[in-house]
């Protein structure tokens, strides 16, 4: 019978435990369940509700989508989401179905296309 638990050497385990758990320059670590629940209370979000328990990933996706809806620069959103790859922020945690694409297109000024030409271009 195969074991699903792989043995680890004491040296490797000690090295992994000693490794700092930094989450970028903003956060020291991932929140514990206790911290997560305290944060929800401060945000006035009920952890246990009629639909079950608040899901961290769903809440993170909502926050990331709201950052995009608010026009937050992708580099800043990536940092706030503690991601190292902006593709994760943009493609997984941002829900395009909730973005107002019509408003984005309406922001384009069809009468002024100077900003579309390269600097120094004669066209």
pLDDT tens per residue across span 43-70 = 888 888 777 888 888 888 888 999 998 8
Global pTM value: 0.54
Flag whether 81 is in a domain: yes
Give the domain range for residue 98.
30-106
Model pLDDT, residue 4:
47
Domain count, the chain: 1
Whether the per-residue pLDDT at 73 is higher than 60: the answer is yes
Q: What is the DSSP string of 36-66?
A: HHHHHHHTT--SEETTEEPPHHHHHHHHHHH
Flag whether 112 is in a domain: no
Query: pLDDT above 90 covers what percent of the chain?
Result: 15
Provide the CB-side half-sphere exposure for 56 (13 A, CA): 10
Decide: 112 and 95 in contact? Cβ < 8 Å: no
Whether the per-residue pLDDT at 2 is higher than 50: the answer is no
Flag whether 123 is in a domain: no
């Amino acid at each position: 019978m195969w074991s699903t638990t792989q043995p680890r050497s004491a040296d490797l385990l000690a090295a992994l435990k000693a490794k700092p758990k930094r989450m970028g320059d903003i956060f020291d670590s991932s929140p514990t369940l206790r911290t997560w629940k305290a944060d929800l209370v401060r945000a006035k979000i009920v952890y246990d509700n009629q639909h079950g328990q608040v899901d961290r990933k769903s809440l993170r996706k909502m926050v990331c989508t709201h950052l995009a809806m608010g026009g937050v620069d992708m580099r800043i959103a990536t940092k706030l989401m503690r991601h190292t790859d902006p593709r994760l922020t943009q493609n997984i945690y941002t829900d395009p179905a909730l973005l107002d694409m019509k408003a984005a297109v309406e922001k384009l000024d069809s009468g002024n296309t100077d900003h579309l030409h390269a600097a120094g271009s004669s066209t």
